């Protein structure tokens, strides 16, 4: 049994995985460098497609929300206008709280 990691058994035959000689190593280096460059090219293309897709989505959303942004800008310029029609806008303090309404029948029952 050979324990050298450069040898593998394939269907009963030993296969030598490391390139032999100078030209074999040079060929392996060139193939490895070519695959690395090819992988980088594909990753650049994928990133470029993602950036263009993101810009298209941003442009679409910007175009579709332009009316909403115009209305919001107008509302910020005129803060005293009420969105509910003739109801006057509050100019004083707002005190928040809860109101508990007790009916007249319940209050008479408690007195007894």
DSSP 3-state helix, strand, coil percentages of the chain (rounded to 5)? 55, 5, 35
Cα distances (angstroms) measured from residue 112 to each of 26, 105, 107, 109: 106, 11, 9, 6
To the question of pTM greater than 0.75 for the whole model, the response is no
Encode pLDDT of 48-96 as tens digits: 999 999 999 999 999 999 999 999 998 888 866 655 555 555 566 777 8
């Amino acid at each position: 049994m050979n324990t050298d990691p450069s040898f593998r058994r394939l269907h009963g035959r030993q296969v030598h995985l490391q390139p032999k000689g100078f030209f074999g190593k040079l060929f392996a280096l060139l193939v490895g460098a070519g695959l690395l460059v090819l992988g980088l090219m594909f990753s650049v293309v994928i990133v470029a497609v993602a950036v263009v897709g993101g810009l298209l989505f941003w442009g679409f959303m910007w175009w579709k929300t332009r009316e909403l942004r115009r209305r919001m800008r107008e509302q910020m310029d005129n803060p005293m206008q009420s969105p509910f029609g003739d109801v006057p806008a509050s100019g004083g303090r707002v005190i928040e709280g809860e109101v508990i309404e007790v009916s007249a029948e319940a209050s008479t029952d408690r007195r007894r």
